[in-house]
Amino acid sequence: MNTDQPVSLLAIFLVFLKLGAFSFGGGMTGWVYREVVQQRGWIGETEFLSGLALSQIVPGANVANLTIYVGQRLRGTPGALVALSALLLVPFFIAIGMYTAYTTIAGLDLVTIGTDGLAAAAIGLLLLMSWRTGRQSVRSLRSFLTLAATFVAVGILHWSLLTAILCIAPLSIAAAWPRKKSDAG
């Protein structure tokens, strides 16, 4: 099942090593999307987006969960574990390095300012991703309403993620459920 498109563990490791090293400010999903869906075509867009929703329902860091989802999909349990370790490897050493440097090197606030800029640029990738996937969604009324409801509930009304997903997902899934008459699926 998972072997129709075998991706090497090394390739998975390298991609997530890179993603982990530059994931500032929580906005890296856009880059994951670019690497995994757009550039490599490892998984499809719908698969990626539904995995994204799934990784927000399950407890834990969202990007870490998404990483496990992609890794598992590509190469099963080894793929998931390799991807997660790669994601954490560089941040682990940078965190300790920063801590040791903190007491000796002045100008740490400059680093913070720099990473704020990095995080802002990363949001640009997210903006582009939501533009692309949003355009897809607008093609069907169901997708558009689901998207809009999710955005309003979480982004504007500040519902908790879990509440929002648990309220909206059943309706959206029910609307997408294959009917006997239609050939969709």
Partner 1 sequence: MQDDPLLKLVMVFAPFSLAAVGGVLSILAGVQHQTVDVQGWMTGREFIELFAISRGVPGPGIMLITLIGWKVAGWLGALVATLSLYLPSAFLMLAITKVWNRYRGRAWHSAIQNGLAPIGTGLIMAGILSLFRLADAGPLSWGVAIGSALVLGFWPTVHPLFLLVSGAAIFIGFHFASI
Query: In this structure, what token pair is assigned to residue 159?
Result: 């519902």
Q: How far apart are CA 87 and CA 80, in angstroms?
A: 11
Nearest approach, Cβ of residue 134 and partner 1 (Å):
6
Nearest approach, Cβ of residue 13 and partner 1 (Å):
15
Q: How far apart are CA 6 and CA 93, in angstroms?
A: 31
Q: How far apart are CA 166 and CA 155, in angstroms?
A: 16
Nearest approach, Cβ of residue 23 and partner 1 (Å):
5
Cβ pair 168, 153 in contact under 8 A: yes
Nearest approach, Cβ of residue 167 and partner 1 (Å):
10
Helix/strand number for the chain, H first, E second: 7, 0
Q: How far apart are CA 4 and CA 73, in angstroms?
A: 11
Q: How far apart are CA 93 and CA 90, in angstroms?
A: 5
Nearest approach, Cβ of residue 10 and partner 1 (Å):
20
Query: In this structure, what token pair is assigned to residue 103?
Result: 């007491």
